[in-house]
A and B are shown apart, each in its own frame.
Chain A
Amino acid sequence: MLIYVYCITNKEPNLNGAKELVRGLYFISEQGLYAVVSEEKEEEFDQANLEKNLSNLEWIKQLAVLHEKVIEQIMEQAGVIPFKFGTLFNNEQNLKAMLVEHEDEFKTDLDQLADKEEWGVKVYCDKEKLKQTVDVQNEEIKKIDDEINASSPGKAFILKKKKEELLDVVLSKTLNTYIQESFDQLGQHCEESRLNRVLPKEVTGRKGEMILNAAYLVAKDQVTRFNQEADRLNPDGKEKGISLDVSGPWPPYNFCLPRAKSRGLSANKKINNE
C-alpha cells in the first residue's frame, strides 16, 4: 500500500466528515504534526499504470477534486498546510521521516497561517466590450470621431486607422491602471499576495481574457473588508467589459513553504500587461 498525503495540521483532526469522501482516510502523527493521508493501491501508481492514469483526465480530475475537498474539511477544524496534488510515500516510516525533516518549516508555516485564509482574485477582460466603453468616454477619440464624420472618404480611412491605434493605447492604459489599482487596493487588506500565471483563454473558456490571477492571504477578521473592496473594484459589471471574480476561502496553497518553484512572481513587482 502507498500513502497519499493531502495536508498537514497541528491539531488532531476529526476525519468523520472527510471519510465520506475518501473511505480509507486516516492520519499519521509525529512531533505534534498530523498528516492526513489515505492508502492507495500500489498498482495504480506504478510506472505503467501511472502513465495510463495520467492520460485519463477523469482520473486526474477526480483525484484533484477529492484532494481539495478533503483539505477543505480539515481546514474547518484547524490550520492546514495543503500539499500539492500527487505526493505519495511507500510506507509510514518514510512519511514520518519527512515530518521530522520538515518539522520546523511546517510549524512555522502553521503559526504564520493561523487565523488567515487564502482568497483568489481573477480578473477577466472582454477587450471588444471595453473598447466600446473607452470609445465613448475618451475625449481624444471623440475628437477623431468628429473629424472622421467631417472628412472625405480617403481622409476618413486614414483617420479611422489612427483611431484604432489610439484605442489600443487607451485600452491598454485603462487595463494597466485597473489591474495595478485592483492588485494594490486588495493588497491593503491582506497579509501577503502572489501573482500567478494568467491562464490562456482556451483554458478558461471565458469570453474575456484573463488579465490578473492573484492570490491573497487574508486575516480572518479582514475577510469582510477584503470582499467589500473586491465588490467596490468590480466595475459596473459586465457592460464595461471587465469582471473581477473572487473565490475563497481556500487552503493556503499559495502561501506555504516549500512551494513549487515555478509558481508565482514577486508580489511587489509592477504588473505589465502587454
Chain B
Amino acid sequence: MNNVYNKSKEVSLLEILDRVLEAGVVISGDIVISVANVDLVYLGLRALLSSVETMEKLSGSPKIGPLQEST
C-alpha cells in the first residue's frame, strides 16, 4: 500500500480482540465458538500479559497498561 497512513506500528492486542471477538460475519457453522464474556477475556489477558511482559515497559511508564503501544 503506497499510503503514508498505514499500520506502521504493531497494533495492540486490544484492537485485534475488539474486532475479532466482537465483530465480523456471523454464520451458523457446525460449531460456533462463542466467547461469553469478552470483557473477562480482555481482563484476563491483560493480567496475563503484565505478568509475562518484561519489566522494561513497566519501568518506562508505570501508568501505561501493557496492551497499548508504549510510544
Contact = CB atoms under 8 A, between A and B. Distances in A.
Interface in B1-28: 1, 3-7, 11, 13-27
Contacts of A90: 30-31
B64 to A, nearest CB: 7
B22 A83 contact: no
A64 B11 contact: no
Given A2-B31, A57-B41, A205 B46 contact: yes
A2 B33 CA distance: 13
B18 to A, nearest CB: 7
A132 interface: no
B14 A204 contact: yes
A254 B19 contact: yes
Interface residues of B, number: 43
Given A57-B48, A203-B46, A260 B63 contact: no
B24 A84 contact: yes
Contact of A83 (B13, B16, B25, B34): B25
A237 B64 CA distance: 16
A86 interface: yes
**SS class, residues of chain B in contact with chain A:** loop
Contacts of B67: 204-205
Interface in A123-150: none
Contacts of B33: 45, 50, 54, 85-88
B71 to A, nearest CB: 13
Given A61-B13, A61-B45, A206-B68, A258 B27 contact: yes
Interface string B17-58: 111111111110111111100010111111010000000000
A65 interface: yes
Interface of B: 1, 3-7, 11, 13-27, 29-35, 39, 41-46, 48, 63-68
21 contacts: A58-B48, A65-B16, A85-B20, A85-B21, A85-B35, A86-B33, A86-B34, A86-B35, A87-B33, A89-B29, A200-B39, A206-B65, A207-B63, A220-B3, A223-B3, A226-B5, A256-B24, A257-B25, A260-B23, A260-B26, A263-B22
